[in-house]
Structure 1
Amino acid sequence: MEKEYPVKILAIRQVTHDVKEFRVEKPKGYSFIPGQATDVSINLPEWKEKKNPFTFTGLNDDSFLQFTIKGYPDRHGVTDRLHQLQPGDQLIIRDVWGAIEYRGPGVFLAGGAGITPFLAIFRQLHRDHEARGNTLFFSNKTEADIIEHQELLTILGVSANFILSNDPQAKGYLHTRIDKKFLKEQITDFRQPFYVCGPDQMVIDLNDILKGLGATPEYLVFEK
């Protein structure tokens, strides 16, 4: 039976207009690999059984656990209720799971909140001075939607590429879609690892495109 860990929210930070960072207590002996996730629920009678998967966005060595969560108020679900919580409120986390794990320098393709598993990976690489050689293509609707924009620039420099699909007036960004034409223009080596996370259909489409362009299936890292 899966173990449950009640944890108190320690701090909440507004990251973007609809994304918040939650720092919570870390149970003794609890550990994860950057890129992994757990199922989270709110420790209230009517919400305890409503589990949502969220990726850890802090480092395993931290004394706390961290999640970066986009709210969807129109859905009136777990994320909307999460965004109403305050420090001192409780969550329930469970065992660690996840297939996204760093396998060496490569290309990261993220859409919206799909950046979250990569945040922990990039933060660990940055701390270990091993971020060089990685490239990020991060797609969002508008400039205001970019999660941890400045931090990603600090970690990756010119290798952090930001793509906007619905903000044509914003300067300094790529205005396109991550599709076959884009990947052929931007990438010359398809034998390196590719890390893909975003909406389900985006992940499916990009994996198919990458395989067609010669990417090795074993080097495609995504949540199965």
Structure 2
Amino acid sequence: MEPYQLSILDKSSVTHDTFAFKIEKPKGYSFVPGQATELSLLKEGWEDVKRPFSFTNLPKDDFLEFTIKTYEDHEGVTKRLANAQVGDKVEIGDAWGAISYKGDGVFLAGGAGITPFISIFRDLRQKNQIGKNQLLFANKTNDDIILFEELKSILGHKFQNIIEHQKDSAYDRGRIDKDYLKENINDFKHQNFYVCGPEGFIKAVNSALKELGASPEALVFEK
């Protein structure tokens, strides 16, 4: 299918380096919560530089939304998006992705890896189906936690944060490793595990989950 060229309708700050972009939604466009698409910014020299970003709105919304962490120290698409303005054009393709909700489980996110889970949680809240779902969210500092207040309102005490680099954080300190998983998860054999983050995070967490008894079929991640 031909790509869609769309205007940015709104840009709002989420954290010190993360923005929510609302863009036009093509007629008939659809996606499943958890999916992503390839996006490029239609600025000279950047039209063909495509990167995957997850949808963070609800499928029924009359707009599309992407919550994007930007990296000022990288000469890439996210640095350009940090300076993008309402009215600028982007290009996207069709929706794709292996992450979708398959039932109650534990969501494990590293940094911007939370983004595919945002639409899933918003969808479950709207359907009153949050159930027993649990979120373990790893970040470098407290200020890096994306949508803290909203996630807390959705998940309550089932939302746990672990912080690696901030010594005075009141949250758990360290990384999501085998010991942390063992301490914070009660059942490894009868629920799903949704994993998203940097490639190294996904590999390490999946490996630890398998060692603790999780079935490979229960691991939901972007391969």
> How high is the TM-score relative to the length of structure 1?
0.97
Correspondence for 2:174: 176
- Secondary structure of 1:9's partner? strand
1:198 aligns with 2:197: yes
Task: Count the aligned residue pairs.
Answer: 222
Aligned-pair CA distance for 1:3: 2.1
Q: Which residue of 1 aligns with 2:85?
A: 86
Partner SS for 1:218: helix
Could you give the per-residue CA deviations for residues 62-117 of structure 1, whole angstroms, max 9, x where no partner exists?
00000000111111211000111111111001011100000001000000000000
Code of the aligned partner of 1:223: E
Is 1:113 matched up with 2:112?
yes
For 1:58 and 1:87, the matched residues in 2 are separated by: 18
Following superposition, which runs of at least 4 residues in structure 1 exceed 6 angstroms of deviation?
A: none
Aligned to 1:166: 165
1:177 Cα shift?
Answer: 1.4
Query: Which deviates more, 142-151 or 174-183?
Result: 174-183
AA aligned opposite 2:112 = A
- 1:132·1:156 contact (CA, 8 Å) conserved in 2? no
Mapping of 1:44-193 within 5 angstroms?
A: 44-171=43-170, 173-191=171-189, 192-193=191-192
For residue 4 of structure 1, report the CA deviation from its aligned partner: 0.5
> Take 2:2 and 2:34, find their aligned partners in 1: how far apart are those partners?
20
Aligned residue type for 1:174: D
Displacement of 1:197 in angstroms is: 0.4
Compute the displacement of 1:219 (Å): 0.9
C-alpha separation between the residues in 2 aligned to 1:144 and 1:163? 12
Using the TM superposition, give the Cα deviation of residue 222 of structure 1 relative to its aligned residue in structure 2, in angstroms.
Answer: 0.2
Partner Cα distance (1:176, 1:88) in 2 = 41
TM-score by length of 2: 0.98
Q: CA deviation at 1:182?
A: 0.9
- Equivalent AA in structure 2 for residue 132 of structure 1: G
Give percent identity, aligned residues only.
53
Q: Please, which runs of 5 or more residues in structure 1 have no aligned partner?
A: none
Cα root mean square deviation, aligned: 0.8
C-alpha distance in 1, partners of 2:48/2:161?
37
- Give the distance between the partners of 2:82 and 2:180, measured in 1 at CA: 35
